[in-house]
Structure 1
Amino acid sequence: MENNPRTTYSYGNPRQDAVFVDSVSQWVEDPETKRYAWDPYVKGSQVGGLPDHPAAVLLSLAPIPRPTEGGVREQATVR
């Protein structure tokens, strides 16, 4: 991601429901933000679930601006 932060993520399940996300990604280094994002999952996970570790990896995903008919770029809407 250092040279090109544009990333694509995908998810699918046996029913063929699929989600694709194109984004600009960056590593989150701030311990407070990482804990804020991680704590709800740790508290709700089963034994053997997510690790309760402040060094856990966290990515920040931002939508990629998309071109419009006039060629002006606008921010994509996240829903």
Structure 2
Amino acid sequence: MAALVYFKKITEDPNAIVYSFGEDPSEMTRHLTMDRETRRSQPDDGSIDYSFLKASRKINAMFDQAKEWPERGMSVS
């Protein structure tokens, strides 16, 4: 079975970036906050599940590649 997660940057400040994410691009109802300095993220709802981990890891991987925080993206496996 395939796993799919979409994410989109919704706000940022000098310390953190907030992304919405979810399994459908029209229903990205959850949020994660990424710390710019440590590159660690926290789910705003406190639920550390597969979708959260998948989105967080993909965001960090895209940052590693482009050296800038992605505006949007997706991860599929």
TM over 0.5: no
TM-score by length of structure 1 reads 0.27
- Pick the structure with greater CA Rg: 1
Relative contact order (alpha carbons < 8 A, sep ≥ 6): 1 or 2 greater? Answer: 2
Q: Which has the larger share of strand?
A: 2
Q: Which has the larger share of helix?
A: 2
TM-score by length of structure 2 reads 0.27
